[in-house]
Amino acid sequence: MSEKKIMVIGSSNTDMTVVADRLPVPGETVLGGKFAMGPGGKGANQAVAAQRLGGNVSFICKVGKDIFGENAIRHYNNEGMDTTGIMLSEQPSGVALISVDTHAENCIVVASGANGDITEADIESHRKEIEAASILLLQLEIPVEAVVRAAKIGHEAGVYVVLNPAPACDLPEEIYQYLSLIIPNQTEIALMTGIEARDEEGAAKAVEALRSKGVQDVIVTMGSKGSMVYHQGQATFVPSKKVNAVDTTAAGDTYCGGLCVALSEGKDIIEAARFATASSALTVQKRGAQDSIPYRKDIIL
């Protein structure tokens, strides 16, 4: 396990997943699905991924005073991460309703609950823990104001600040100057910049638009194709591993967690992207969110 602390601040959900032959269109009911329930949430997924892949992880989130929250805290403790930053809310714990088809495509509806109750004051109360981290990993399933405050605290303390801008939303211009690395997918970077990133040329233009806002480095994840890493003015394509994908849920989260672990171990950003790619390739071969996240011993580069 790396000695460098990875701080993850984000959402904690309980995922309720139905696997069916196809995804329904609006107004349609599809019968014959199989149901499963398990832990999820982008923040929690990335924290669990980083922990399982060898990171030294602290997780800050907010859960409700209900059975879902109790189970979540017990689960994170069992994973071995530092859970002293987990807060309790009067709101119910977050839940996500996930539909997955036989082609591994999914659609997700999230009821944020306690995740939406994280305030700037909550983040400020954990200032010392954030400042003591080496890497701060953030997403956008909690209020943007809280994300910005965390990024600012981390940046001012010299922490390496990583943002996975998912789900995509309007971000205040202020946040970009606090980011060491941003990891959008093709859809997210297009929504953020107004520039389509279907190919290398389009991705490069979109990346420059982000870099002009103050971001140091950018990685654009491109699903089954791989990822484009933009570091110090150089673009490097890291191809994906060809596997039989059955469920893409948590693949991006595993990528982000794995990347931060590799960086915490002193790997350069290209090596880190290769490690993250190998990690996410294992995730898509199993169903579920955290149930599909691999362990360090499983990774083959």
Encode pLDDT of 248-262 as tens digits: 778 999 999 999 999
| pLDDT exceeds cutoff 80 at 197 | yes
**DSSP code, position 237:** E
For residue 272, how far is the Cα from the chain centroid? 15
Per-residue confidence (pLDDT) for residue 98, from 0 to 100? 84
Pairwise CA distance, residues 288 & 23, whole Å: 16
Per-residue confidence (pLDDT) for residue 1, from 0 to 100? 62
Neighbours of 130 (CB within 10 A): 26
Pairwise CA distance, residues 259 & 69, whole Å: 28
In terms of residues, how long is the chain? 301
Sheet with strand 94-100: strands edge to edge: 34-40, 13-19, 94-100, 106-111
* pLDDT band at residue 32 using 50, 70 and 90 as cut-offs: confident
When pLDDT is averaged across residues 24-29 and rounded to a whole number, the result is 91
| pLDDT exceeds cutoff 70 at 2 | no
Pairwise CA distance, residues 253 & 256, whole Å: 5
Per-residue confidence (pLDDT) for residue 201, from 0 to 100? 83
Locus of tokens 């596997």: 243
Per-residue confidence (pLDDT) for residue 199, from 0 to 100? 79
Per residue in 159-180, pLDDT (tens digit) is 999 999 999 888 999 999 999 9
Q: Which two tokens stand for residue 212?
A: 């002009």
Q: Which of 89, 190, 195 is nearest to 146 (CA)?
A: 89
Pairwise CA distance, residues 176 & 264, whole Å: 22
Locus of tokens 């609006």: 26
| pLDDT exceeds cutoff 80 at 15 | yes
Per-residue confidence (pLDDT) for residue 183, from 0 to 100? 98
253 is catalytic: yes
Locus of tokens 């992207």: 273
Task: Give the β-pairing of 217-221 and 226-231.
Answer: antiparallel
* Annotated active-site residue in 101, 247, 253, 268: 253
Say if CB 54 and CB 262 are below 8 A apart. Answer: no
Per-residue confidence (pLDDT) for residue 141, from 0 to 100? 95
When pLDDT is averaged across residues 104-128 and rounded to a whole number, the result is 93
When pLDDT is averaged across residues 42-53 and rounded to a whole number, the result is 97
Per-residue confidence (pLDDT) for residue 57, from 0 to 100? 98
Q: Which residues pair with 14 in a beta bridge?
A: 39, 95
